[in-house]
Amino acid sequence: MAQGFNPTHGCEPGGPIFSQGVVQHEGQVLHVTGQVAWDEARQVIGPGDAGAQMAKCVENIETVLAVVGGRLEDIVSMTIYFVSRDNMPAIRAAREKHLSFPVGQAPVSIFIQVSGLVDPALLVELVPIAVIPHARYRPPAL
């Protein structure tokens, strides 16, 4: 597991959602392409519902991680792109529900507001970096 930390002063505390810093453990580093709320047919899941889209993004990330033996708790960094500030409460609630981590193991994180994503119906996109422990890592079949 990654070792997250939060300074005792000087910046906002992290907690179960994110850490101010993360020391990466040994393992295979996996950079995951941006995950959006598409199903297998590239249909948008949850049009107009940022919380449902966030949940689908997390599900898609789980699918990618599982191919190489990874789990959500292996995420060390998460970039979250979002279209509207009005969706922030739903995105945060879904994040807390689907991406909660034990204290000291939450990834570092950044939220970036954008004017749009690849499909106008998409409201959020997640770009994680994970470190899969050597004991669990398995190379993807090519």
Q: What is the pLDDT along the chain (142 residues), one digit of tens a residue?
A: 565 655 666 556 555 566 666 666 788 999 999 999 999 999 999 999 999 999 999 999 999 999 999 999 999 999 999 999 999 999 999 999 998 787 778 888 999 999 999 999 999 999 999 999 999 999 998 7
User: How far is it, in rounded angstroms, from Cα 133 to Cα 9?
Assistant: 31
Tokens 């998460």, residue located: 78
Q: Strands (DSSP E) along the chain, which ranges? A: 3-5, 21-23, 28-31, 75-82, 108-113, 124-132
> Do residues 2 and 80 make contact, with C-beta atoms less than 8 angstroms apart?
no
Q: Which two tokens stand for residue 91?
A: 């995105």
